[in-house]
Structure formats: C-alpha cells, structure tokens
Amino acid sequence: MAEDTKYKLLRQRLVEQLRQKYPFDERVLAAIAKIPRQIFVATGLERLAYEDRPLPIAAQQTISQPYTVAMQSHLLEVKKWDKVLEIGTGCGYQAAVLVELGAKVYSIERQKELYEQARKTLWDLHYQLSLFHGDGYAGKLIFAPFQKIIVTCGAPSVPQALLEQLAVGGRMVIPVGSNGQTMQVIDRLSETEYRTTSHGKYSFVPMLEGTAEK
Ligand code: SAH
C-alpha cells in the first residue's frame, strides 16, 4: 500500500477513536483527519504518530496527545479569521490545526531548536502563520488583542500579559498548575471582568520563563 494511503487510513482510525471518546467539534476532527502528524513527530516514531498518546520531539519536549489537541482546539471555539496566539509551538502540530480551522495564527516557542524545526516543517507543508522565538510569558503585544489564546505548556498561574492581550469577548484555553494541570477556559467579559471554568485534569511540560538557545 502506498505510504499516503496508509497514513490516511491511520488518520481516519484515530479520528474515529477521538469521536468515540468525546463529541468534538467536527471541524476539529476534519483538521486532524487532514494533517500528516507523522511529519511532526521525531524521526523513527512515525509508526506511532496515530496512536492517541503524546510523543517525544526535540529538546526533551513532547507533542501533545491527539485527544488533548482535539480538546484544546474544541474548547477554543475558533472562528474563521480569529487572531489566535499560541504559547508553546513545539513541533507545530497544534498550530497547523489552528490554521486549518481558519485562524490567523501567531505562535511563540522558547526553545530555538524547536522554533526552527517547526518553521521548516510548517513551511514545507505550506502552512501560513507567524512564528516567533521568544518567551510566551510576555505574549505578543504588537499583534494584540487576540480573539483566542491557547497555551500548550503547564502554566503555574495565568500570565498577566496574556490576560491583558485577550480581546474583550475573547477566550483563553490554558492548563494551569505546577504538578499536573487543570484545563481552564477564561472568557473575557469586559475590560475588567473574566469568567473561568474548569475542564478536567491534564499533564503538560512546564511553562518556563525566558528563552533557550538550543
Ligand atoms: N503545541 C505543541 C506542544 C508542545 S509542548 C505541539 O503541538 O507540539 C509545549 C512547548 O511549550 C514546548 O515546546 C516548550 O518548549 C514550550 N514552552 C514552555 N514554556 C514556554 C514559554 N514561556 N514560552 C514559549 N514556549 C514555551
């Protein structure tokens, strides 16, 4: 069987598994059905790319489990043309899902090596988005406000800059906690009011301050 057909079938099987686990937004599942996850995982792990589990990428980081990517994308309720800020580009897979959902994506990664790899992977796949090497704690003020903010690393607490850069009427999806995280959805109701709801327990790599050159 041709490689492409094999991966397409594996993707369909993964999407079916996700659909059984939770009634995800079908647009999110359509994005997952389309994106070649095997290209984002580390070399040698391609055969595991469509298992519903996290996998190692470079710099001791991980690509989130497909279930987690689906849940964060679902909770984010992305609309076409939403300006979305992602903290923690990693290998770029979640960013690709956001582009498929029609968002204008800005994504920040603190590890130089990952930033460069993600840039190449996404470029090769013709995804158009803005990637930055930097510290997500600062957000990206020059492009603010964002209709949506998604944090894909475990934040000990919600960074103030991100709250400020969220548009009124906007939504942030962020795993909060140091030892295991609770998925929080934060809606900005007005200039001064936010409403937070909790959506289950997860385990993310930590959100760290500053940048790393490696
Ligand atoms: N969204 C990614 C998940 C990567 S894991 C994917 O689809 O693969 C989380 C990433 O967050 C790691 O790459 C880590 O280096 C990055 N990270 C941690 N703290 C950060 C910070 N302060 N700013 C930006 N990125 C950060």
149 vs 14, 53, 75, 111, 162, CA distance in Å?
A: 26, 24, 11, 19, 8
* pLDDT recorded at residue 43: 87
Q: What is the mean pLDDT of each run of 10 residues along the chain (214 residues)?
A: 86 97 98 96 90 89 94 98 98 98 98 96 97 98 98 98 98 96 98 98 95 86
Per-residue pLDDT tens over the stretch 121-157: 999 999 999 999 999 999 999 999 999 999 999 999 9
190 to each of 117, 163, 165, 195, how far by Cα in Å? Answer: 38, 12, 13, 10
60 CA distance to ligand 1 middle (Å): 11
Helix (H) or strand (E) holding 19: helix 3-21
Probe target for ligand 1 pocket from 110, 122, 181, with the most ligand atoms within 8 Å of CB: 110
Active site residue 198: no
In the chain, what percentage of residues exceed pLDDT 70? 100
Report the pocket of ligand 1 as residue ranges, CB < 6 Å: 61-64, 87-88, 90-91, 93-94, 108-111, 114, 135-137, 152-153, 205, 207-208
Nearest atom within ligand 1 for CA of residue 114: 13
pLDDT tens across 15-25, in order? 999 999 999 99
Closest CA to 89 of 66, 111, 65: 111
Position 3: which residue type? E
Task: Determine what percent of the chain is predicted with pLDDT higher than 90.
Answer: 90
Query: Comparing C-alpha atoms, which of 97, 103, 153 is closest to residue 125?
Result: 97
